[in-house]
Amino acid sequence: MRSCNLTLGEEATPARVAYISLEGPILEPPGLEIASMRVGHLSVHSRYHRLPRCVEDDYEITDRVLGSGINGDVHLALGKHARGSQAYAVKAFDMHNISVDKRAELDSEVAVFLEMDHPHVARLVDVYETSHTLHLVMEHLEGGELFDRVAQRRRFREAEAVHATRQMLLAVNYLHSHDIVHRDVKLENFVYDVKNSDHMKLIDFGFSRIWDFDSKLQRVLGSLAYVAPEVLNKSYTKQCDLWSLGVITFILLTGSMPFDGTREAQISSIKAGTYNMKPSRWKGISKEALSFVQALLVVDPEHRLTAESALRHAWLQPQALQAPRQPGERCVERASSTVHPSVCIDSSIVEGLRQFGQASRFRRACLETMAWSLSNEERAKVRDSFLALDATQRGSLSLEAFCKTIGQAGVASEQEARQIFDALDSDQDDAVHYSAFLAAMLTSCLALRSELLHDTFRRFDVDNRGIITPENLRQVLGDEFEGVEVGELLKEASSSNDNQISYEEFAAHLCESTIVPTADTAPIDSAKFPVAASQRSMRRWTLTPLPLRSRL
Q: Write out the catalytic residue numbers.
A: 184
Written as one letter, the residue type at 488 is E
Choose among 376, 486, 335: nearest CA to 121. Answer: 376
3-class secondary structure per residue, 277-338: CCHHHHCCCCHHHHHHHHHHCCCCHHHCCCHHHHHCCHHHCCCCCCCCCCCCEEEEECCCCC
Residue 314: Cβ-neighbour burial (10 angstroms; 0-12, 13-18, 19+): exposed
Q: Are 119 and 162 in contact (CB under 8 A)?
A: no
Rounded Cα–Cα distance for residues 73 and 219 (Å): 26
Is beta strand 48-50 parallel, antiparallel or unpaired with respect to 124-129?
parallel
Q: Look at residue 18 and give its three-state secondary structure.
A: coil
Q: How far is CA 456 from the centre of its chain?
A: 19
Q: Which residues contact 478 (CB under 8 A, 6 or more apart)?
A: 36, 41, 42, 45, 486
Q: Look at residue 448 and give its three-state secondary structure.
A: coil
Distance spanning both ends of the chain, measured CA to CA: 11
- If you ran DSSP here, which 8-state letter would residue 189 be given? G
Rounded Cα–Cα distance for residues 218 and 233 (Å): 8
